[in-house]
Amino acid sequence: MSELADHVESAVLIDHHVHGCWSAQGDAGDRIRFESALNEADTAPVTEVGAGFDSQVGVAVRAHCAPLLDLERHVGADEYLTRRTALGETEVSRRFLQAAGVSDWLVDTGFSAGLVDTGELTAASGGSTHEVVRLEEVAEQAAAAPGDYAEAFDEILGERAAGAVATKSVLAYRGGFAGDLGDPPPALVDIAAQRWREAGGTRLTDRILLRFGLHRALRLGKPLQFHVGFGDRDCDLYAANPLLLNDFLRSSGDTPVMLLHCYPYEREAGYLAQAHRNVYLDGGLSITHLGARATSFVGRLLELAPFRKILYSSDGAGPAEFHYLGARLWRSGMTRVLDGFVADGEWSAADAMHVVDLIAHENARRIYRL
């Protein structure tokens, strides 16, 4: 192995956007659940057994995850799932989380059904966990609280953010980025909040209140994570193009804004990271689902974005295979891309190792003040 490959393999990662893995309550051998998890965009369960594995991520699971379950690389799907069932969810999770080489997990707790909590993730992985507070969840809590909505929102956000490292918005799933994202006047917030409370105060889609939450997060000053691009079909992919955030970013001050996932807009996100001092990006979720094609995606992340603006994440949620595969495919992709730069005489090996360290952990440590 080259010195560079060795450096990438041993780099300690900070996974700056992730969720819990499946809890032990589920059935580790539930084939429909597992195969459905291999498809991010389609939210309906798979109907054809085996179809989930006929995908880049399905092949990647059989190639890279099988050895951690004491199986041969490229083992068949049936054998993989039989072994997964025999080991059980707790042991499967322990193996993958510990093999990811992650020291710190920054956990978006806004989506938690069937997943372990941060304490269980800490115990299973041996790493540290830090909370990322989802703004739309704070909004729901404020809607349920008595009194003035804006005051309740500020109080809840202040309390929750005191022990958290960042906030997160799923605006991409609630109408997208197109249109005015300015700070709404208080009178409009009052009217919108009253209307939303009367309608039940669940699943926030009101633009005024979504904008209000974003600007409260900017004022808070902790890094603000945005789901960008690729996600399930509830996300209007066309309206999740980060270029639509340009006006918002121009007026976002110094608060770091983190563009997550980005596919197929990684080039747009890279441009924004160069254009705005406070904008950063990652390729979490996308790298995992691109499997053998993750290398070219990792290469595109290393185009316009300044290297101090790129972070690592897996966006793992559910099967712990994803918490591991994000790291596995990132390491392979980085090694191949950077080996190419060095072989072409464009970069020194020292340049490459410096950039590996920035993306693996140095940028996250600096931005989140870990």
CB of 341 to Zn ion, least distance (A): 30
137 binds Zn ion (CB under 5 A): no
CB of 2 to Zn ion, least distance (A): 33
Pairwise CA distance, residues 221 & 168, whole Å:
12
Nearer to Zn ion, 13 or 66 (CB): 13
Window of 63-71, 78-86, 189-197, 311-319 that interacts with Zn ion by CB under 5 A: 311-319
Window of 239-247, 275-283, 314-322, 362-370 that interacts with Zn ion by CB under 5 A: 314-322
Window of 187-195, 228-236, 310-318, 345-353 that interacts with Zn ion by CB under 5 A: 310-318
Q: Which residues face 257 on adjacent strands? A: 224, 279
CB of 121 to Zn ion, least distance (A): 14
**3-state SS assignment for residue 70:** coil
Window of 75-83, 117-125, 312-320, 356-364 that interacts with Zn ion by CB under 5 A: 312-320
Q: Check if the beta carbon of residue 98 is closer than 8 Å to that of residue 71.
A: no
Nearer to Zn ion, 106 or 142 (CB): 106
CB of 183 to Zn ion, least distance (A): 25
Nearer to Zn ion, 266 or 315 (CB): 315
Residue 225 per-residue DSSP state: E
315 binds Zn ion (CB under 5 A): yes
Q: Check if the beta carbon of residue 298 is closer than 8 Å to that of residue 337.
A: yes
Nearer to Zn ion, 4 or 281 (CB): 281
Nearer to Zn ion, 35 or 315 (CB): 315
Nearer to Zn ion, 285 or 355 (CB): 285
**3-state SS assignment for residue 258:** strand
Nearer to Zn ion, 230 or 297 (CB): 230
Residue among 80, 82, 45 nearest 59 (CA):
80
Q: Which residue is nearest to Zn ion (CB)?
A: 315
Window of 25-33, 74-82, 245-253, 307-315 that interacts with Zn ion by CB under 5 A: 307-315
Pairwise CA distance, residues 251 & 181, whole Å:
10
CB of 177 to Zn ion, least distance (A): 17
CB of 60 to Zn ion, least distance (A): 19
15 binds Zn ion (CB under 5 A): no
CB of 329 to Zn ion, least distance (A): 17
CA angle 95, 99, 104 (to 5 degrees): 110
- Size, binding site for Zn ion by CB under 5 A: 1
Q: Check if the beta carbon of residue 172 is closer than 8 Å to that of residue 235.
A: yes
Nearer to Zn ion, 140 or 315 (CB): 315
Dihedral angle of Cα 358, 361, 367, 370, to the nearest 10 degrees? -150
Q: Starting at the edge strand that comes first in sequence, how are the strands of the sheet with 257-261 ordered?
A: 13-18, 102-108, 128-134, 164-169, 224-228, 257-261, 279-281
CB of 289 to Zn ion, least distance (A): 13
Q: Which amino acid, one-letter code, is at 366?
A: R
Nearer to Zn ion, 282 or 315 (CB): 315
Helices (H), the chain: 3-10, 31-37, 56-60, 77-87, 89-99, 118-125, 135-144, 149-162, 186-198, 207-220, 246-250, 266-275, 286-290, 294-301, 320-343, 349-357, 363-367
CB of 158 to Zn ion, least distance (A): 24
- Contacts with Zn ion by CB under 5 A lie at 315
